[in-house]
A and B are shown apart, each in its own frame.
Chain A
C-alpha cells in the first residue's frame, strides 16, 4: 500500500516541482509591477495547459482560444458590475458559457478534418468581437467595462499583489494537477491515439468525435477561468483585449515549449511570457515576430523544448492475478459473426459484391484471394471502417450494419490493419493498454490485462520502447496484442504475416492457435499460405469482389476456380 502511495505521489513529481518553483517567485521580488507580470504569466499558464490538452494531446487546433478567455473575462465583468454578483459565482458561470459555446462550435467542425476547427476558431473571435462592439450599451464596447470588483477571501479583499499571485497559483495548482492526472491516465493514451490516427483509435473502441468535443469544451472552460481571474485583478476589460494576437501568442508559447507534455507549455509561457514586456517599444512588430517564430518552430523543431527530453511512460507491467484472458463471450445461438449480402462500390468499380459468410466462436476463418480481390475492403466493411452500400453484419445476433467502427470494437470486434497502425507516440506497453482500456475497469485492471498479453507475446523486453524503436515483427505482435488485449470475441487480422520470416510466421501461428483455443474467433486475411493453410478451419476465396469458393483448406485448394484465379486460366485445366 505504501508502495502504491509512493508511485501515486511520484507521478505528481513534475506538477509539484512546477508549483513549488512558481511559489517562490514572490519571495524573490518586492516589485509590484514585476509581480503583476508574473501573475499574468500564471494566468497564461492556466490557459496554455488547457490548450495543450486540445492541441498537444488530441491534435486539434484552436486559433481563437483568446475568445474563450474573453468569455470568462466578460462573464465576470458583467455579472459583477451589472448584476452585483460575487466574483466567485461569476467564475463558474463564465466557464460554463465558454464550454457551451465551444460545444456549439465543436459539433459541426470536429466531425470533420482538423482544419475546419482551426478555421472556425479563427472566425469565432470575430463574431464575439462584433457582439461586444455591437452591444456597447450593455458590454461597454471598445471603451470597456471598468471598476470590476476584486475577489475577496473571508471578507478580505485581495488587493495585495502577492496575495493575488498566490490565489492564482492555487487555481493553477488545481488545474495543473487535474490536467496532469487526466493526461497521465488512460484518457491521455486515447487522446494521443486520436491525434496520431483516428481510424486506429476507432478500432480501439474510442468514440473519437465525442472525445474531441469533450476535450475542446474542457479546454475552453479552463481558458475562461483564466479570463475571469484576469479581470478580477486588472479590473478592466474591453473589446479586443484578447484578440487574434493574444490567441496566436498562446499557440506560439505552447509550441515553443513543446506540445503534449504539459510542462512544455509551462516552460514556453515562462520563457516567452516576457517577450511582450521586452517588445513594449516595438509592440507593432509583435505579430511579425510571433508569426515568424511559429512558422520556424513548426518547420524545424515541431516538438519544441520538451522534445529534447524523452517522455517516460507512467504505465508499466504489473502482476495481476484477477484478470481473465478468455474472450468476452456473447451468448447467442448460431454463429458468432454472420455477414450477408455485403456490397461496396467505388465509383464504377465493385470492390465487394454480395459477400456472405459466417464465423463460429473458436474458429480461424481465412479470407484469401489475388491482389485486388476485395479482401481488405471486406475487412473494412465488417469492422465498420468503411460504410457498406448494402448488407448485414451481425455479431452474436445483433445487427451492426450502419453503426460506427468504435461501437463494433466495443461489442467485441477487434482488428489489425494491413500496414501495422500502432500509435507512434505511445510505448509498446501503452499501445496494448490502449486496447485493454476498452474493457473498462480500473487502471490496474488495464495494466494487468496488458501485462498478460505482453508476456504471452514475448514483448516484455521492449515494453517501454516506442514503435519506431522496435523491429517489424515486434510491431506486428504489438498491434495484434493491442487488439487481443480487449479480449475480443472475434478479431480481424489484415495480413499479419506480411514481411515476416518463416520462423516469425511460426511464432505468430502459435499465438493465433492459442488465442483460438481460448475461444476467440479469428478472421485472417493473408497471402502467406504457410500461415493460412495449416491454421485455418475454413477458407473463403474472393476474386474480383465475389466469393468463388468456401470450405476447408483441402477442398479449397482442389477447387478449379480457385486454381484458375490464382494461377491463370490454363492452370485450371492442367
Chain B
C-alpha cells in the first residue's frame, strides 16, 4: 500500500503539463470549430513560444516582458499559417489540409532545430519552492500555470459568450453560410481562430518551459498530446479540451509513477486510442456532433 501514499504526488506531477495539453487542445478546438481543419502544426506554437522566451530572457529581457513578446511571435506564425492555408483551392479535401499543416509543422520543427539546436532549454520565471496540498508537494510553478490556465478559460468564455466578435465566431462555427448572410465574414473568423490558437499555444510554451524545459523536437509530440486532450474533451469544445488536457496530464503522471517513465510519451497515445475506441465523442458530449463520425 506504499504506492498509494505516493499517488497524490504522482498526480501533482501531471498537473502543470496537463494544463499545457489543455491549452494546446483548446487551440485545436477553436480552429476546428471555425474551419473544420485539424491543425497538425499546433504543437509548434508551444515550442516557438517557449524557446522565443528562452532567447529573449538570455538576451537580458525580463521574463514578464518576454512572455507577451513570445506570445506575439506565435500570433504572427498563426497568421502566416492561416494565410498559407487560405491559398488552398476551393473545395480542397480534408487530406489536403492535413498534409499542408503537417508539412508546415515538420518544416517549422526543422527550423527550430536550426535556431535552437536539439538541446533542452529553460529560463526561470516562477519563485522557487512548493506548497503541500492534500498530501502532495505542488510547486509554485504548477500553481501559476494552473492559475493562468483558469484565467485563460475565463477570458475565453467572456470572449466567446459576451463579446460580439466571440458570438460571431460561434455563429460561424455553427454554420458559416448562415453567418455570412448576417454580415459575418467567415474568413475573418477563421483568421481570428488561428490567431487565438497560436496565442494559446505560445502562452502554454512560455508557461511550461521554466518548469519542464523545452526542446525544438517537442512540437509534434505536444501536438499529439494536445489533440488527445481535445478528443477527450469532445474536439469541438475548447473548455472540454482544457479539462481533457488536465485529465490527460493526471493520467500520464499516474502512469509514470506507477508503471514506468520509459513509456512517458506513449501513455497519451494509448489514451487516445482508448478514447477513440470507447467514447469517440469525448467524455462530455452526449452525442457526436453532425459531421463528426
9 shortest interchain CB distances as A-B pairs: A291-B107, A294-B103, A287-B110, A134-B262, A291-B106, A295-B103, A108-B277, A288-B110, A127-B266
Tell whether, in the assembled complex, residue A61 and residue B106 are in contact, meaning their CB atoms are under 8 Å apart: no
Tell me the B residues contacting A by CB distance below 8 Å: 38, 40, 84, 87-89, 92-96, 98-100, 102-111, 113-114, 220-221, 223-224, 227, 231, 260, 262-266, 268-270, 272-274, 276-277, 280, 292-293
Query: Min CB distance, B222 to chain A, in Å?
Result: 11
A133 on the B face (CB < 8 A): yes
Q: Does A255 contact B (CB under 8 A)?
A: yes
Report chain A residues within 8 Å CB of B93: 59
Residue of B nearest to A126 (CB): B265
- Kindly state whether residue A322 has any CB partner on chain B within 8 Å: no
Q: Residue A288 contacts which of B107, B273, B293 (CB distance < 8 angstroms)?
A: B107
Q: At the interface, yes or no: A122 with Cβ under 8 Å from chain B?
A: yes
Closest to B217 in A: A244
Contact B266 A291 (CB under 8 A): no
Assess whether A127 is in contact with B94, with CB atoms less than 8 Å apart: no
Question: Is A284 on the interface with B (CB-CB < 8 A)?
Answer: yes
Q: Which residues of A contact B103 (CB under 8 A)?
A: 252, 290-296, 298
In the bound assembly, the distance between CA atoms of A291 and B95 in angstroms comes to 15
B110 touches A123 (CB 8 A): no
Bound-state CA distance A252–B103 (Å) is 9
Q: List 10 A-B pairs, Cβ < 8 Å.
A: A114-B95, A114-B98, A118-B98, A119-B224, A123-B268, A131-B266, A290-B103, A290-B107, A294-B106, A295-B100
Chain A residue, CB-CB nearest to B92: A302
Closest approach, in angstroms, between the C-beta of B224 and any C-beta of chain A?
5
User: Bound state CA distance, A541 and B112, in angstroms?
Assistant: 64
Of A112, A255, A286, A298, the most chain B CB neighbours within 10 A belong to: A298
Give 18 new A-B contacts, CB below 8 A, not counting A115-B94, A122-B220, A299-B84. A61-B95, A61-B98, A61-B99, A107-B277, A108-B277, A108-B280, A112-B276, A114-B98, A120-B276, A122-B224, A123-B268, A126-B221, A126-B269, A134-B262, A286-B110, A288-B111, A294-B100, A299-B96
Residues in A with CB closer than 8 Å to B221 are: 126
Residues of B within 8 A of A114 (CB): 94-95, 98
- Which of A248, A252, A302 has the largest count of B CB atoms less than 10 A from its CB? A302
B166 to chain A, nearest CB (A): 22
User: Do the beta carbons of A59 and B95 come within 8 Å of each other?
Assistant: yes
Given A108-B277, A118-B102, A127 contacting B270 (CB threshold 8 A): yes
Q: Which of A61, A113, A130 contacts B266 (CB 8 A)?
A: A130
Task: Give complex CA distance A285, B263 in Å.
Answer: 29
Consensus secondary structure, chain B interface? helix
Contact across chains for A113 and B293 when beta carbons are under 8 A apart: yes
A109 contacts B273, C-beta separation under 8 Å: yes
In the assembled complex, the CB of A258 is this many whole angstroms from the nearest CB of chain B, namely 14
Bound-state CA distance A302–B114 (Å) is: 29
CB–CB A248/B110 < 8 A: no
Query: A287-B107, A287-B113, A302-B96 are contacts. A126–B266 as well, Cβ < 8 Å?
Result: yes
Q: When chains A and B are docked, how far (Å) is the Cα of A134 from the Cα of B95? A: 34
Number of interface residues of A (CB under 8 A): 48
Which chain A residues numbered 547 to 573 have a C-beta less than 8 Å away from chain B?
none
> What's the count of A-B pairs with C-beta under 8 Å?
145
- For residue A123, which residues in chain B have a CB less than 8 angstroms away from its CB? 224, 268-269, 272
Residue on A nearest B264 in the bound complex, by CB? A130
A124 interfacial contact with B, CB 8 Å = yes
**Chain A interface helix/strand/loop/mixed:** helix
Q: Which residues of B contact A61 (CB under 8 A)?
A: 95, 98-99
| CB neighbours of A296 from chain B (8 A) | 103
**One of A116, A130, A298 near B99 (C-beta < 8 A):** A298
Closest to B265 in A: A126
Chain A residues with CB under 8 Å of B99's CB are 61, 251, 255, 294-295, 298
The interface bits of chain A over 299-316 (1 if a CB of B lies within 8 angstroms of the residue's CB, else 0) are 100100000000000000
Closest to B107 in A: A291
Whether A126 contacts B106 by the Cβ 8 Å rule is no
Q: With the chains together, A244 CA to B92 CA distance in Å?
A: 25
A50 and B292 alpha carbons, distance in the complex (Å): 28
A124 contact set on B, CB distance < 8 A: 269
Residues 122-158 of A, flagged 1 when their CB comes within 8 A of B and 0 if not, give: 1110110011011000000000000000000000000
1/0 contact string of A90-125 vs chain B (CB within 8 Å) = 000000000000001101110111111011101110
Instruction: Point out the residues of chain B lying under 8 angstroms from A213, CB to CB.
Output: none
Closest to A116 in B: B276
In angstroms, Cα B111 to Cα A296, docked, is 17
- Docked complex Cα distance between A453 and B245 (Å): 55
Inter-chain CA distance A119–B272, complex, in Å, is: 9
B224 touches A109 (CB 8 A): no
Distance, CA A72 to CA B117, complexed state (A):
32
Q: Would you call B110 and A134 a contact (CB within 8 A)?
A: no
User: Nearest Cβ in chain B — how far from A425, in angstroms?
Assistant: 12
CB distance from A566 to the nearest CB of B (A): 27
* Residues of chain B lying within 8 A (CB to CB) of residue A119: 38, 40, 224, 227, 272
Chain A nearest Cβ from B78, distance in angstroms: 16
The docked-state distance in angstroms from the alpha carbon of A295 to that of B85 is: 9
Q: How far in angstroms is the closest Cβ of chain B from A458?
A: 30
The chain A residue sitting closest to B269, CB to CB, is A123
> 0/1 per residue, A275-287, Cβ < 8 Å to B?
0000000001111
Please determine whether B110 and A284 come into contact, CB atoms closer than 8 angstroms: yes
Question: Which of A127, A251, A299 gathers most chain B CB within 10 Å?
Answer: A299
Shortest Cβ distance from A286 into B: residue: B110
Q: A25-50: contact bitstring with B at CB < 8 Å (1 yes, 0 no)?
A: 00000000000000000000000000
A133 contacts B269, CB within 8 Å? no
Least CB separation from A251: chain B residue: B99
**Which residue of chain A is the closest to B85 with respect to CB atoms?**
A299
A108-B273, A108-B277 are known contacts. Are A295 and B107 too (CB-CB below 8 A)?
yes
Most central of A118, A292, A295 by chain B CB within 10 Å = A295
Which of B88, B98, B104, B272 has the most chain A CB atoms closer than 10 A to its own CB? B98
Does A63 have its Cβ within 8 Å of any Cβ on chain B? yes
- In the complex, the answer to whether A299 meets B87 with C-beta atoms within 8 Å is yes
Best-buried of B84, B94, B106, B262 by chain A (most CB within 10 Å): B106
Contact A284 B95 (CB under 8 A): no
Q: Establish whether residues A112 and B280, one from each chain, have CB atoms under 8 Å apart when the complex forms.
A: yes
Q: Closest chain B residue to A60 by CB distance? A: B95
- Cα(A386)–Cα(B110), bound, Å: 45
Contacts of B293 in A (CB 8 A): 111-113
Residues from chain B with a CB closer than 8 A to the CB of A299 are: 84, 87-89, 96, 100
Check A244 against B106 for contact (C-beta < 8 Å).
yes
A291–B104 CB distance below 8 A: yes
Pairwise interchain contact B98-A115, C-beta atoms closer than 8 A: yes
Contact B108 A291 (CB under 8 A): yes
Q: Please judge, given known A-B contacts A130-B264, A299-B87, whether A248 and B114 are in contact too, CB under 8 Å.
A: no
Q: Find out whether the CB atom of B262 lies under 8 angstroms from the CB atom of A295.
A: no
